[in-house]
Chain A
Amino acid sequence: MKKVYMDYVATNPLHPEVLDAMMPYLQEDFANPLSIYEPALKAKEAIENARKQVASLINAKPNEIIFTASGAESNNFAVKGAALANQNKGKHIITTKIEHHSITNSARFLERYDFNVTYLPVDKSGIVNPSAVERAIREETILISINHANPEIGTIEPIEEIAKIAKEKNVLFHTDAVASAGNIPVDVRELNVDLLSLSAHQFYGPKGASALFLKEGTRIMPLIYGGIQEGGRRAGTENVPAIVGMGKAAEMAKEKLSARIAHNMSLRDKLISAVSKIDKVYLTGHPEKRLPGHASFVVEYIEGEAMLLLLAGNGIYAASGSACTSKALKASPVLTSIGIPSHMAHGSIVFTIGQETTEDDIDYLIQKFEPIIKRLREMSPISQG
């Protein structure tokens, strides 16, 4: 049976050239980078080279990159670390209702320690209104965290505009760029952010390597104490192969960004155009300001999980909202935040496209999807059709 992987937002396959770059550090070059003999110095140099490669992808300085183990860790580090380091100035944080759980749950954690959090609404495309951010800023606001692109609906936020407001009000600004970095241009100087999270496995790097950009001169409270790794900001023996892989993947993403965007966008548009024609299937997220490989929909009268199972039965691997909400069988807060009624939010389906996706794959999906919807609607007790 044909296999079509359409869940690039969950993770990307490892690029073979990235694996090649990692292999020596999984085998002969295994030394601990903190040791002082020659093989250890080689490992240390490899980390510093990766730091330069990752910095270059987002136009940061190498000393502004802190390696972590996951996007979730980077987000936790940004929100908790920046909040705790600045609590003497105030205890108010602003975020949105459509953030990843690693942001919203970090904010909820801080609420237990007397921080106040404002969760801003978004419009029906998932866009945060910069004026609403401005109005929410108080004297005691110390941090604003808003995702660059939303992984569930693909919408890209006006980060530059919001960050400008944050700067004017002297408030730290963090953006979760896990879904965007390596997939669209991300320039920390243009965006004017103080902190930014990114993750290797979203741009053909390995799992287990992510990073937090921390603008030079920005204070942060470490979450993990121990050794002197990452300048004492994030202790723990470095995952050298994964970090090397992240560096190589970042270098390749920078080189191939335009070509990757063009490839993904053309297939995405074809898919959106075909699927939107199916009766009572609606595109979610912004029609234009969206990730190049992201096509998300709600399908009326059907459960997302049922669609996933039948698609998987045809070798098509997709997602229904975020992994967490999908597993919890809970209406996605992102979808309800953009005004989708809860009964429809359960019919969420997300197809994400990558470099291995072909036109033939998209044709195959289009051919299989409508009959699956029809079949499920015939079985559905709430279907009117």
Chain B
Amino acid sequence: MNIQNTELKFLDKPIHADAMTDIIYMMCPIHLLTIAQKIKEIKTGQTLAVLTDYDGALQDIPAWCGTTGNEFLGVLEESDHYKFYIKKLKE
């Protein structure tokens, strides 16, 4: 199991994303179920952006990237939500 990329990393500007999912106001575990679904819909090497206001995602999303072998690129803090970036590393 790949346990890298689990460290929380804040970004200071947006980065390119190939797909985006907005799950603002959705609570645990919707953020993880949605990411699992959405990551299937993009190609290896592409980046998924996830918009959420759920604070638990700050721990959960980097950890999810680690356990599933995807790369956590970082999180951007917007005024009322977070934008997480995840790079798909494998099918």
Contacts and interface: CB of A to CB of B under 8 A. Distances in A.
A339 interface: no
Given A228-B30, A232-B30, A222 B22 contact: no
A217 B26 contact: no
Contacts of A219: 22, 24-25
Contacts of B80: 88
B80 to A, nearest CB: 6
B1 interface: no
Contacts of A225: 27
B25 A220 contact: yes
- Among A88, A221, A222, A228, the one with the most B-chain Cβ atoms within 10 Å of its Cβ is A228
Nearest to A219: B24
A85 interface: yes
Contacts of A85: 24-25
Nearest to A84: B25
Interface string B9-37: 00000000000001111110110011000
A231 B25 contact: no
Instruction: From B22, B24, B25, B29, name the one whose CB has the most chain A CB atoms within 10 angstroms.
Output: B25
Chain B interface size band reads 10 to 19
A233 interface: yes
16 contacts: A85-B25, A88-B80, A219-B22, A219-B25, A221-B25, A222-B25, A222-B26, A222-B27, A225-B27, A228-B29, A231-B26, A231-B30, A232-B26, A232-B27, A232-B33, A233-B26
Interface string A214-226: 0001011110010
Contacts of B24: 85, 219
In the A-B complex, the 10 residue pairs with the smallest Cβ-Cβ separation, listed nearest first, are A232-B30, A232-B26, A221-B25, A225-B27, A219-B24, A85-B25, A88-B80, A228-B30, A228-B33, A222-B25
Given A85-B25, A221-B25, 4 more contacts: A228-B33, A231-B26, A232-B27, A232-B33
Contacts, number: 25
Interface in A50-104: 85, 88
A305 B26 CA distance: 46
Interface string A224-268: 010010011100000000000000000000000000000000000
Contacts of B22: 217, 219
A232 B34 CA distance: 10
Contacts of A228: 29-30, 33
Nearest to A81: B25
A268 to B, nearest CB: 43
Nearest to B28: A232
A384 to B, nearest CB: 59
A261 B25 CA distance: 40
Contacts of A88: 80
A217 B80 CA distance: 17
Contacts of A221: 25
Contacts of B25: 85, 219-222
Interface in A99-142: none
A217 B26 CA distance: 13
Interface in A264-302: none
Contacts of A231: 26, 30, 34
